[in-house]
């Protein structure tokens, strides 16, 4: 005759060790991850960096498409594009949304040092080549002279 297990002492749930372990893991995650959600500086710098790259690529493509010069001017926290038949430019470049002038700016990020103005010619070449750094973001934006490649 087989004896049926005694069901009177069968309990389900978590042990104290398991509960303490989970609490410690959640505490470590909260201490490390939560400050990242409240510190926006790194996210804002990356966003401005991406916007600058996109704007410079748009400027180069617009120069080739329109067969004109596109000038890139900088302030401490903005980029403005103009176009013209000569390297002096002068006419506001219309952006992809149809607004002129094409300009981006950031209220929370800026350039490490205000870059010098430059232009793209009708073949998309940059004159002079540039290295641009956004404050708070370690990677430099490079604009190659002969190809106008922005990276």
End-to-end CA distance of the chain: 80
Q: And the tokens for 55?
A: 């704007």
- Residues 79-109 have pLDDT tens digits of 999 999 999 998 999 988 888 889 999 999 9
Q: pTM of the entire structure?
A: 0.76
Determine the Cα–Cα distance for residues 39 and 29; give it in Å rounded to an integer: 16
Determine the Cα–Cα distance for residues 78 and 101; give it in Å rounded to an integer: 12
Determine the Cα–Cα distance for residues 86 and 90; give it in Å rounded to an integer: 9
Determine the Cα–Cα distance for residues 72 and 111; give it in Å rounded to an integer: 14
- Residues 30-87 have pLDDT tens digits of 888 777 777 777 788 899 999 999 999 999 999 999 999 999 999 999 999 999 999 9
Determine the Cα–Cα distance for residues 70 and 140; give it in Å rounded to an integer: 22
Q: How many helices (H) and strands (E) does the chain have?
A: 2, 8
Query: What DSSP string describes 48-115?
Result: HHHHHHHHHHHHHHHHHHHTSEEEEEE-SSEEEEEEESSTT--EEPP-TTS-SSEEEE-SS--BSSPP
Locate the domains of the chain by residue range.
41-143
Q: Tell me, what's the pLDDT at 37? A: 72
């Amino acid at each position: 005759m087989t004896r049926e297990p005694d069901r009177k002492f069968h309990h389900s749930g978590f042990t104290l060790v398991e509960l303490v372990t989970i609490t410690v893991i959640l505490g470590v995650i909260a201490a490390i991850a939560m400050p990242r959600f409240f510190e926006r500086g790194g996210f804002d710098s990356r966003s401005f960096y991406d916007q600058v790259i996109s704007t410079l690529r748009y400027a180069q493509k617009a120069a080739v498409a329109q067969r004109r010069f596109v000038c890139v001017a900088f302030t401490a926290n903005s980029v403005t594009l103009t176009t013209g038949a000569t390297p002096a430019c002068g006419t506001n470049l219309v952006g992809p949304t149809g607004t002129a002038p094409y300009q981006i700016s950031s209220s929370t990020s800026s350039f490490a040092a205000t870059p010098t103005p430059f232009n793209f010619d009708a073949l998309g070449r940059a004159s002079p080549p540039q290295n641009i750094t956004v404050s708070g973001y370690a990677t430099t934006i490079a604009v190659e002279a002969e190809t106008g490649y922005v990276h």
